[in-house]
Amino acid sequence: MVDLEALISKMSLEEKVLQLLQTTGELYNPDESGKLMGNMFGIEIDDYMAWNAGSVLGLEGAEAAIRLQNEHMEKSAHKIPLMFMHDVIHGYRTIFPAPLALACSWQPELAEKASLIAAKEASAAGTHVTFAPMADLSRDARWGRVIESFGEDVMLNSLFSEASVRGFQGDDPKEKDQLAACVKHFAGYGMAEGGRDYNTTEISENALREYHLPTYKAALNAGSKMVMTAFNALNGVPCTGNKWLFGDILRGEWEFDGVVISDCTAIGELVLHGFADDNDEAALKALKAGVDIEMVSTTYYRGVKSLIEQGLLSEDEIDTAVMRVLQFKETLGLFDNPHKGADPKLEEQLLLCREHRDAARNIATECMVLLKNESVLPLRKSDKKIAIVGNYADNKDILDIWRCTGKPEDCISVAEGLQGKLEFNAINGCSDEALELVRASDVIILAIGETPEMSAEAGSRASIELPEEEKRFTESVLQLGKQVIAVVFAGRPMDLGMLNEKANAILYVWFPGTEGGNAIADILLGEKEPSGRLTISFPVSTGQCPIYYNALPTGRPTESLEESTRFRTGYVDAPTFPRYPFGYGLTYTDFTYSAAELSKDTLCKGESITASITLANTGKRPGTEVVQLYIRDMAGSVSRPIRELKDFTRVKLNVGEKRAISFEITEEMLRFYTLSGEYKSEPGRFKVFIGENAHCENSAEFRLFI
């Protein structure tokens, strides 16, 4: 056990502040003259800073990590080991479906498994910390980072965030095959105005506590060791300098004693926000807010000495931040073993091993959502001529930009996944040649969608339609009257235009990961049943954004799902409701629900009510249904959402099988932040909905008495 207080007492102010600096892995690649290469954004870091920095971002590979750690331990003043951090979002080399897709499985245990495998690969490659999970509630399909979120519901977001932390960290992040998790972005980043990344947000404290903060707290309750600041300003105060967020809530109310890290260059950006006059003031405000590590930029190193000399900052405040960083390194076991899990031989064995690829394939099949099926799927053997066309027909670049060290050449394309299982001709792209193949064929597998660069960070879009080339090609294909099965790759909900009306089937596969093509083949051929359900609403058009199921009611609600009525909330040129609602997804069979029933129609504190239905598989194949329980508080001291997901269960039924499904409703499930700011339930009338998605109307009512 290292005496950290004694260690800090031996350090100069410069050495302390450098423990708060995170450099990038590319910085340590020597150029021809043997000098360190310049860093991104033109930020200058000299040799002394580099060899005494506290952590490194984005270094890849066990050999590189071991070599750099050894050199660092030789050259650094106090032999304090480096921490290596990386964006291991949904896989290291074996890439799993993107987080939004993972959530559509409605199986948090799959996110935990994917994170566990990612941790094994990344730790063997020398990584100690991952910048995941992203707990930001996301309601606007224009925002590119919806792909990195778990969707629009606070309950599901919390379950998946917890599961991700458990997978990455295990029982102890000190173990050689585990990573420390960093929940991000604190807070409210998903509400960026206009869906424009890095934009400001306006969220009332009531809404912040009700819908946004619980997911970050869930990740911390699961043990997340680090928190990352958000780029956005929250009600006019940039999060990276927001003392209320990090001082009052995170470290005060929640008693978090771990490390806070800025997002990349976010501290210097406080000047651009108009929140700080210069970099020194930006450093002061971030440190006072409780931000310990500065990612990439150098405002701390350049400004702290002057701030202390002016009496604006004390060295004790720096010591507090340094202590948290050193304690984090001790938590990771780096003082005992600076190399932790780094092992070139194990890295070679684990990366893309058969076990991991099989897991990626199986998980991907659970995440795809069947949006439409006019009895054309699953594909059957026949004498019909099948064509696979579109920009994803035989395209291996099916990973979103959060691919870590994953490579397109590792991936399975749609054509490769179907090879040997189905007779077809394939032309990749949207060319005239591809259209000629369509004309000569009977069944068309149209593999289209966004490119990876169209989503994720800095991937906001003003229009969420198909890219123009694909849109024109799709319209040409649909006009030929062929049987069309659309396989859509995307990092967000999209407006699919004519596909919604004229395609015979639509399988939404997101960015499905390394084994995407094999997983798609499993679904198309019926070797696996589609069971994914949406965790984010699909708008009819971009103009509906943001659109989400758990909105507050208005005084003039829309009464029809199909059309808007004047002088009711809505549009004169489009429906008010989404194309595909939260919770929606089809299977290869049919399910029927009996009427919702309650065990009693009153509830008192300390009691419970059982809500139940009977589910029947009335189709011709076995299948899995996700039965969802929603509750609406009909009146409160503040307006309550139209409905809220409170529970769900996945049910697999054979043909003709029936099963009674029940949910327990307690008073605790009805609590919310009231007008007085208290978290409690209020007496009154409640409506219960049990069904297949957020628009189900199978309901019953009860009253709560307190």
- The predicted-structure confidence for 223-267, as pLDDT tens digits, reads as follows 999 999 999 999 999 999 999 999 999 999 999 999 999 999 999
**Distance between CA atoms of 83 and 558, rounded to whole angstroms?**
54
Assess whether pLDDT exceeds 70 at residue 39. Answer: no
Contact of 334 with 66, CB cutoff 8 Å: no
pLDDT in the model for residue 32: 39
The single residue listed with the structure tokens 């596969």 is 509
- The predicted-structure confidence for 410-440, as pLDDT tens digits, reads as follows 999 999 999 999 999 999 999 999 999 999 9
Contact of 404 with 92, CB cutoff 8 Å: yes
- The predicted-structure confidence for 668-697, as pLDDT tens digits, reads as follows 999 999 999 999 999 999 999 999 999 999
What's the Cα-to-Cα distance from 72 to each of 62, 261, 339, 347, rounded to whole Å? 15, 22, 12, 22
For residue 35, how many other CB atoms are within 10 A of its CB?
10
**Distance between CA atoms of 232 and 238, rounded to whole angstroms?**
6
* Helices and strands, number each (H, E), in the chain: 21, 27
DSSP labels, 55-69: EEES---HHHHHHHH
Query: Band of the pLDDT at 40, cuts 50, 70, 90?
Result: very low
Locate 697 and state its tokens. Answer: 């109307």
Cβ burial, residue 4 (10 Å; 0-12/13-18/19+): middle
Q: What is the CA radius of gyration of the chain?
A: 26
pTM for the whole thing? 0.97
What's the Cα-to-Cα distance from 328 to each of 12, 135, 322, 343, rounded to whole Å? 20, 21, 10, 22
- The predicted-structure confidence for 553-581, as pLDDT tens digits, reads as follows 999 998 766 666 788 898 988 889 999 99
What's the Cα-to-Cα distance from 535 to each of 250, 271, 491, 550, rounded to whole Å? 27, 36, 13, 12
Locate 149 and state its tokens. Answer: 């979120």
Alpha helices in 290-431 (DSSP H): 299-309, 315-331, 344-350, 354-367, 414-418
In single-letter form, the type of residue at position 393 comes to A
**Distance between CA atoms of 69 and 84, rounded to whole angstroms?**
9
pLDDT in the model for residue 22: 96
Kindly name the residue from 87, 177, 263, 522 that is annotated as catalytic. Answer: 263
**3-state secondary structure (DSSP) of residue 574:** coil
Cis peptide before 185 (omega within 30 of 0): yes
φ, ψ (nearest 5 deg) of residue 154: -70, -35
- The predicted-structure confidence for 154-190, as pLDDT tens digits, reads as follows 999 999 999 999 999 999 999 999 999 999 999 999 9
Contact of 402 with 148, CB cutoff 8 Å: yes
Q: What residues are paired with 294 via a beta bridge?
A: 21
Locate 389 and state its tokens. Answer: 């066309």
Nearest-CA neighbor of 688 among 639, 659, 647, 652? 647
**Distance between CA atoms of 209 and 322, rounded to whole angstroms?**
30
Domains of the chain: 4-346 (3.20.20.300), 359-538 (3.40.50.1700), 591-705 (2.60.40.10)
Supply angle C-alpha 604, 609, 612, rounded to 5.
165
Verify whether residue 87 is a known catalytic residue. Answer: no
Contact of 231 with 271, CB cutoff 8 Å: no
**Distance between CA atoms of 325 and 328, rounded to whole angstroms?**
5
Contact of 494 with 454, CB cutoff 8 Å: no
Cis peptide before 493 (omega within 30 of 0): no
Cα 641 to its chain centre, rounded Å, is: 23
Average pLDDT along the chain: 96
- The predicted-structure confidence for 632-677, as pLDDT tens digits, reads as follows 999 999 999 999 999 999 999 999 999 999 999 999 999 999 999 9
Q: What percent of the chain has pLDDT over 90?
A: 93
Query: Band of the pLDDT at 34, cuts 50, 70, 90?
Result: very low
pLDDT in the model for residue 37: 39
